[in-house]
Amino acid sequence: MYKKIYQVGVALTVMATPALAQQTEWQQINKAYKTGMELYERGKFSSASAQFDRVEALRTKSNLQLDETEELSLLKENVRYYQAVCALELGESDAENRFLKYIKDFPVSANAKAAYFQIGKSYYAKKDYVKALEWFNKIDSKNLAGKENVEYRFKYGYASFMTKDYKTAKPLFEGLKDQKTEFQEASIYYYAYLSYLDAEYKTALNEFERLNGSKQFENSYPYYITALYFLDKRYDDVLDYALPILSRTKQENETEMFRIIAATYFIKGDLKTSKEYYDKFQAQDQGKTQNNQDSYQIGYIAYKLKDYDKAITELEKMTEPDAYYQSAMITLGDAFLKKGNKQSARNAFFRASKLDFDPAMQEEGLFNYAKLSYELEFHQVALASTQEYLKTYPKSKRLEEAKTLLAEVLLSTKNYREAVDILESIPKRGKEANAAYQKVTYYRGLEYYNERAFENAISLFMRSEGFRYDEEIYALATYWKAEAMYEVRKYGESVTNFNKFLRLPGASKTDVYGYANYALAYAAFRNGNYSTAANYFERFLASGGSKGIEMNTRNDAIARLGDSYFSSKNYGRALTEYNKLISSKAPSQDYALFQRGIIQGLQGDNKIGRA
């Protein structure tokens, strides 16, 4: 991956011999050797290898090997070593075997340690970093000098990095990042990256910024600078840096950069632009790395832009519960509500209520879960969850709303007494609480009425009448207050309230409207207002038609109408009503006959008196 010039650093001195022939042979061999080394130093490995082969050929053909000297042995050893190095550089398949044979033949050679490095390099070139490290570990950087020392340290570090031994790799890169070598940029890059992994963000950013202008890493390091700006909340710097980079280069981590840019716009509140970059991110990512934060923010953006289907799709992708998940469930619940799906909304709020990452979200979830449980008629669940809310959050800003909800739940379970108590515990009720109060006091009043506790009933009906959010309830409270007043013989007040009832806009919608005239007539009769009573009995009978009123009630109304006329001494009209009962053979015909007899007697007396 990284080209390098190899250097053994062994000086060869060829000693002149007394014999002229041997001197000539030494000169030829030495010249070929020096040429090979020059070519080797220039990286001309194929030509250098040919020269080293020539050295061996000259050596084996010469007479020098018959009287092998120390110098000749050193020459032979060095040539074998450089032949192996050239084979390695040229990618020849037998390079490793050459080094192994060299180590076997010259185990104590100064180049033996370097040979271990060369074998390691052969595995390194094949990206077999585990095997490379096996050979690198046989030596120490102290065994190598100059460029080989630098190359060894870098490749040892890189192989360690690739096998995820970051603890070993990091100090090696650190030792090379400030040295002016061919490995400096790479060392800076990997040291910065490992600092990033270790959350040493300031160090990482400083090192990555040193790579500005680097061609080698121009497609990779910008992502990390972008990410580090984001982590440091330098959001303007994120955009100022990343957007121009993406416009002029193709980044290896382009997808990730789209994600960061989208998140940056999200934080800055520019949801439309954030959506544009999240769309790019999703198009490239295809769901491979999208996490809870992404799903939440994408879903939230869709929700705010009123794309509720998209919001639901994205928010439902969230898996492991975390702070984003909890907040997402609140948004998801509201999105379901916007689509009219209360059941799914209830489930989402329930999930949020069971998490404690954000207490405010937990409170929101529990309240909405209780409210939807009530609306979906899970009455016992609604009761339990609302009571839990009030117990858990006694100082909540939504205390009145929660108490109102509890009252409505109690109303639905017909627990009117507790509903009245809970609403009356609110110091300053708002509109919704008063609307609920109007209902629960009315129904509690009916309970008292049915228990014949009429004074208590009147008190509750009057409390209900204090509010007029529901016209029908308002009318009913007035009606039953009038009935209760009748029962306690407050006939005048009863008449007044029946009259009021009949004039109310909500009265005609009630099921008691048809009997209001009848009740008013009775109250007026009891109060001695016979003409008024007669008037309303007439209205009652006229409004019911021939079949609209139950027969016993009709007969009773006819009898009372006759009595009203009788009491106001309008005997002719009274007789007409009594005769209706007699001719129809109503159960009350005996009473009608009796009353007719009295009238006839009275009329007869009057005739005698006039005579």
pLDDT tens sequence across 524-582: 999 999 999 999 989 888 886 545 788 898 999 999 899 899 999 999 898 998 899 99
pLDDT band at 355 (very low <50, low <70, confident <90, very high): very high
Residue 333 scores a pLDDT above 60: yes
pLDDT given at position 588: 84
Lowest mean pLDDT: which of 48-52, 226-230, 467-471?
Answer: 48-52
pLDDT given at position 282: 97
pLDDT band at 1 (very low <50, low <70, confident <90, very high): very low
Q: Give the number of other Cβ atoms within 10 Å of residue 569's Cβ.
A: 10
Residue 229 scores a pLDDT above 50: yes
Nearest to 307 by CA among 290, 348, 315: 315
pLDDT band at 8 (very low <50, low <70, confident <90, very high): very low
Q: What is the mean pLDDT of residues 309-331?
A: 94
Q: What is the mean pLDDT of residues 49-65?
A: 78
Contact 525, 560 (CB under 8 A): yes
In sequence order, the 6+-apart residues with CB closer than 8 A to the CB of 586 are 555, 558, 592
The CATH number given to 470-546 is 1.25.40
H or E element at residue 558: helix 551-567
Q: What is the mean pLDDT of residues 290-304?
A: 97
* Residues 378-431 pLDDT 10s: 999 999 999 999 999 999 999 999 999 999 999 999 999 999 999 999 988 999
pLDDT given at position 62: 66
* Residues 493-527 pLDDT 10s: 999 999 999 999 999 999 999 889 899 999 999 99
Per domain, the residue ranges of the chain are 1-159, 470-546, 550-611
pLDDT given at position 65: 54
In angstroms, the CA 373 to CA 504 distance is 35
Answer yes or no: same fold for 1-159 and 470-546: yes
Round the average pLDDT of the chain to a whole number and report it.
90
* Residues 68-121 pLDDT 10s: 567 777 888 889 889 989 998 888 888 889 888 988 888 888 788 888 898 898
Nearest to 348 by CA among 309, 320, 312: 312
Q: What is the mean pLDDT of residues 179-188?
A: 97
Burial class (CB in 10 A: 0-12, 13-18, 19+), 579: middle
Q: What is the percentage of the chain residues whose pLDDT exceeds 90?
A: 67
In angstroms, the CA 435 to CA 135 distance is 85
pLDDT given at position 112: 84
Q: What is the mean pLDDT of residues 187-213?
A: 97
Q: What is the mean pLDDT of residues 286-299?
A: 96
Burial class (CB in 10 A: 0-12, 13-18, 19+), 102: buried
Q: What is the dihedral of CA 9, 15, 20, 21, to 10 degrees?
A: -50
Lowest mean pLDDT: which of 155-159, 267-271, 405-409?
Answer: 405-409
In angstroms, the CA 575 to CA 579 distance is 6
pLDDT given at position 68: 58
Q: Which fold has domain 1-159?
A: 1.25.40
For residue 354, the 8-state DSSP code is: T
Residue 16 scores a pLDDT above 50: no
Burial class (CB in 10 A: 0-12, 13-18, 19+), 164: exposed
Residue 453 scores a pLDDT above 90: yes
pLDDT given at position 6: 36
Q: What is the percentage of the chain residues whose pLDDT exceeds 70?
A: 93
pLDDT given at position 234: 98
Q: What is the mean pLDDT of residues 170-187?
A: 97
pLDDT given at position 523: 92
pLDDT given at position 63: 60
Q: Which two tokens stand for residue 216?
A: 């080698």
pLDDT given at position 7: 36
Q: What is the mean pLDDT of residues 55-66?
A: 70
pLDDT band at 56 (very low <50, low <70, confident <90, very high): confident
Q: Tell me the whole-structure pTM to 2 decimals.
A: 0.72
pLDDT band at 196 (very low <50, low <70, confident <90, very high): very high
* DSSP per residue, 82-120: HHHHHHHHTT-TTHHHHHHHHHHH-TT-TTHHHHHHHHH
